[in-house]
């Protein structure tokens, strides 16, 4: 396979991004679902087709997959095998399409090159702010051409973190429950939890140190697999919420600098353990009982860093 010229890829994103910006600033909010779907097909379809055509001319041997609504069922062994074979681009031409169509200036572009199931190149472009993030496997992570690193926080406690939900998450009750439980748990520990819209951009913000951590429950790997490379190449850690390696088909993600990742996983694993207990416990089981799998260290750390709202407000302001 020919070597990929990173600058060629980034310039194509910039060119398409400039035209998207021009279109965006002239749009009125689209509020009806049928109109939104038609507008999505038109503008996202154009952007994806333009990027695909340009990349196909430069790299005709590399395949193509569009990311937003084409995730992998981890239980479908054939789909997983296909995703783990060969080279192809994953493109989400407008990550945050809902915001784009509602005229909310909070969307980004994401493009990832996958080789045999692993991301080897990723670019996330915030076209509205001309902010380009990219990473090459083994070659580092960059913001606007300057090397970037995750920040130096020692834990998630009193941090600023973010979370989101995959497309159509309401179809997956377990992911909905885990999202709610984890949000409730994390809110006890941090200064703020934000959902900043595009998943790819939130992971880029972890990679450059703007955010302390990001987590999400539900299968969203086509949106996350490339931006996860930004985090790891910037010195961070990315796994599933249970601590297993993150890959195509994963059903959760946790991304952060290593110390923050370690403390956050204790909290998220507590949520997972409690969910498992609730599913398996008899109806008359004692409510609120903690599973034995939750370590004493996790409970001690949780108690030590839980801050009353009034106290926390004083510390912030």
Enumerate the domain spans of the chain: 6-147, 160-316
Q: How many other C-beta atoms are found inside a 10 Å radius of the C-beta of residue 275?
A: 16
pLDDT digit string (tens) for 250-262?
999 999 999 999 9
Fold (CATH) for 6-147 = Fructose-1,6-Bisphosphatase; Chain A, domain 1 (3.30.540)
pLDDT digit string (tens) for 70-129?
555 556 556 556 667 799 999 999 999 999 999 999 999 999 999 999 999 999 999 999
- State the average pLDDT for the chain: 86
3-state DSSP assignment of residue 315 = helix
Kindly indicate the confidence band of residue 273, based on its pLDDT and cuts at 50, 70 and 90: confident
| Phi/psi at 268 (5° precision) | -70, -35
pLDDT digit string (tens) for 123-166?
999 999 999 999 999 999 999 999 999 999 999 999 999 999 99
3-state secondary structure 9-51: HHHHHHHHHHHHHHHHCCCCCCCCHHHHHHHHHHHHHHHHHHH
> Left, alpha or beta for 168 (phi > 0: left; psi -120 to 50: alpha)?
left
Kindly indicate the confidence band of residue 3, based on its pLDDT and cuts at 50, 70 and 90: confident
> Does 160-316 match 6-147 at the fold level?
no
Percent of the chain having pLDDT more than 90? 75
Spatial distance between the Cα atoms of 129 and 146, rounded to a whole number of angstroms: 16
273 touches 178 (CB < 8 A)? no
pTM for the full predicted model: 0.84
pLDDT at position 291 over 60: no
Q: Which residues fall within 8 angstroms of residue 68, CB to CB, at 6 or more apart?
A: 44, 92, 95, 97, 167, 222, 223
Q: How many other C-beta atoms are found inside a 10 Å radius of the C-beta of residue 138?
A: 7
201: nearest Cα among 291, 60, 299, 100: 100
pLDDT at position 301 over 50: no
User: Which residue would you say has higher pLDDT here, 15 or 287?
Assistant: 15
Architecture of domain 160-316: 3-Layer(aba) Sandwich (3.40)
221 touches 74 (CB < 8 A)? no
CA 52, 53, 55, 61 dihedral sign is positive
């Amino acid at each position: 396979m020919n070597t990929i010229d990173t600058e060629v890829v980034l310039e194509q994103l910039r060119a398409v991004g400039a035209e998207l910006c021009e279109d965006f600033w002239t749009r009125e909010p689209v509020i009806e679902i049928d109109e939104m779907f038609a507008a999505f097909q038109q503008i996202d379809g154009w952007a994806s087709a333009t990027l695909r055509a340009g990349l196909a001319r430069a790299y005709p041997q590399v395949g193509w997959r569009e990311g937003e609504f084409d995730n992998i069922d981890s239980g479908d062994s054939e789909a997983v095998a296909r995703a783990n074979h060969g080279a192809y681009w994953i493109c989400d031409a407008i990550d945050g399409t809902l915001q784009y169509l509602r005229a909310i200036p909070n969307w980004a572009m994401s493009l990832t090159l996958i080789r045999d199931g692993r991301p080897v190149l990723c670019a996330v472009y915030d076209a509205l702010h001309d902010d380009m993030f990219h990473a090459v496997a083994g070659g580092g992570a960059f913001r606007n051409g300057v090397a970037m690193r995750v920040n130096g926080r020692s834990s998630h406690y009193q941090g600023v973190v973010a979370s989101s939900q995959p497309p159509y998450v309401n179809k997956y009750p377990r992911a909905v429950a885990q999202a709610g439980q984890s949000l409730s748990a994390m809110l006890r520990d941090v200064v703020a939890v934000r959902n900043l819209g595009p998943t790819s951009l939130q992971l880029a913000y972890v990679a450059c140190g703007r955010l302390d951590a990001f987590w999400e429950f539900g299968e969203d790997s086509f949106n996350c697999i490339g931006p996860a490379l930004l985090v790891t190449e910037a010195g961070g850690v990315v796994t599933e919420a249970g601590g297993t390696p993150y890959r195509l088909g994963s059903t959760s993600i946790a991304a952060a600098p290593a110390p923050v990742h370690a403390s956050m996983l204790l909290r998220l694993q507590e949520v997972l353990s409690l969910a498992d207990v609730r599913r398996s416990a008899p109806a008359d089981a004692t409510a609120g009982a903690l599973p034995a799998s939750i370590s004493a260290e996790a409970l001690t750390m949780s108690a030590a860093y839980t801050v009353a709202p009034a106290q926390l407000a004083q510390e912030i302001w």
